[in-house]
Amino acid sequence: MEILKFDPIFKSVIWGGKRIAEYKGIASQGDHIGESWELSPMKGHESVVSQGTYKGATLPSLIAEHGNEIMGERLMKKYDGKFPLLVKLIDSSDDLSVQVHPDDALAAKRHDSLGKTEMWYSIAPAEGAYLYAGFSKHIDAAEFRRQVAENEIIPSLHKYFTNAGDVFFLPAGRVHSIGRGNFVLEIQEASDITYRIYDYDRRDAQGNPRQLHVEESVDAIDFDDTVDLPAQNELGVVGELRTLADCSYFKTEVARVDGAMTVALAARDSFTILVATAGELTVKSADGEISLRQGETALVPASTAEITVEGKGTFVSTFIP
């Protein structure tokens, strides 16, 4: 089966900016585009194939018809025929809310959904860009409620200033926030469940405060999550896949290409998602080839045993181990 490319889904939000379109080299999509959903199975926001034999088909419809080819039998059984990941580009021209995501068990109980473990790969942070991940000190639920009510939660979070290539792994239960000036690739479980904890008292277009989910978040938060985990600065090595994150939900790697490199995929027993984070690449398989420019994403079916990536640039690869 041929390698698949999809139309991005652009999301306008109050904290978004203009950098996603600039990064992709396309016409402006608006002044407040905070997210580009690069690959999405989410209901109402399904990715649509942009070219080739299956142009116009949605990702869920392709899985329904060609699931074993795209996902492989192992993952079709594991995820009951549903595509398990969501991939986004995020541009934060302002601070995102402080938030947390539930794990699989709590999300299933409350929302009949997957939980949300995710990772960020920093692509092009502005000078002084920062983010928050995890607690800087131990607090209990009562102290957490007090700090949120009195606008004092920010000092209790680890603050990191970001560099290009930094990696942040965010297991479900880790309180976090992307600060202004970041431009990241986000890879996550296919879930849109977010508990908003604190939002700097911002108002929506009607002047109303944005909804918070403080009580819902208490059961989701890992209050013992106080480990100061240093970010990894990894921009890739020419011709070599380097691991960025490795968990049961996804394994993510990065590589730089200057010429050509071959990537064996058969042993993965999984689809592979490719995101070009810099340059211009050509991805070839036994079933054809595609171009992959900076900011574009492709889905390599599980039935593909090997690909060759040619050109000059950097790509991030994700699959499910």
State yes or no: is 180 an active-site residue: no
Using DSSP's 3-state secondary structure scheme, residue 189 falls into strand
Q: For 124-158, what is each residue's pLDDT tens digit?
A: 999 999 999 999 999 999 999 999 999 999 999 99
pLDDT at 207 over 90: no
Q: Return d(Cα 34, Cα 8) in angstroms, integer.
A: 13
Q: Return d(Cα 282, Cα 259) in angstroms, integer.
A: 10
Same fold flag, 4-233 and 242-319: yes
CB 4 within 8 A of CB 47: no
pLDDT of residue 300: 98
Domain locations along the chain: 4-233, 242-319
pLDDT of residue 245: 95
pLDDT at 4 over 90: yes
Q: Kindly give the pairing relationship between strand 297-300 and strand 288-293.
A: unpaired
pLDDT of residue 208: 85
C-alpha torsion angle, residues 321, 75, 84, 8 (rounded to 10): 90
pLDDT grade for 202, boundaries at 50, 70 and 90: confident
- Average per-residue pLDDT in the chain? 96
- pTM for the model: 0.95
Average pLDDT over residues 271-275: 98
* Percent residues over pLDDT 90 in the chain: 92
pLDDT of residue 205: 74
Q: Which residues contact 208 (CB under 8 A, 6 or more apart)?
A: none
The residues facing 300 across adjacent strands are 272
pLDDT at 255 over 90: yes
Concatenate the DSSP letters of all residues of 238-271 into one string. BTB-EEEEE-SS-EEEEEEEEEEEEEE-GGG-S-
Average pLDDT over residues 270-290: 97
The structure tokens listed for 244 are 């960025």
Long-range CB pairs of 135-144 (<8 Å, 24+ gap) are 135/175, 135/223, 135/225, 135/226, 136/226, 136/228, 137/226, 138/223, 138/224, 138/226, 139/223, 140/223, 141/218, 141/221, 141/223, 144/218, 144/221, 144/223
Q: For 102-124, what is each residue's pLDDT tens digit?
A: 999 999 999 999 999 999 999 99
* Percent residues over pLDDT 70 in the chain: 100
The structure tokens listed for 266 are 């058969």
pLDDT of residue 209: 84
Q: For 178-190, what is each residue's pLDDT tens digit?
A: 999 999 999 999 9
CB 269 within 8 A of CB 225: no
Average pLDDT over residues 232-244: 89
The domain at 4-233 falls in which architecture? Sandwich (2.60)
Q: Return d(Cα 103, Cα 126) in angstroms, integer.
A: 31
Q: Return d(Cα 109, Cα 129) in angstroms, integer.
A: 36
* 242-319 CATH fold: Jelly Rolls (2.60.120)
pLDDT at 228 over 90: no
Which among 194, 135, 133, 199 has a CA at the least distance from the CA of 166?
133
Whole-number Cα distances in Å, 9 to 2, 35, 155, 294:
22, 8, 35, 16
Q: For 29-86, what is each residue's pLDDT tens digit?
A: 999 999 999 999 999 999 999 999 999 999 999 999 999 999 999 999 999 999 999 9
Burial of 135 (0-12, 13-18, 19+ CB in 10 A): buried
The structure tokens listed for 154 are 């920010």
Average pLDDT over residues 220-225: 96
Which residue in 19, 145, 174, 196 is the catalytic one? 196
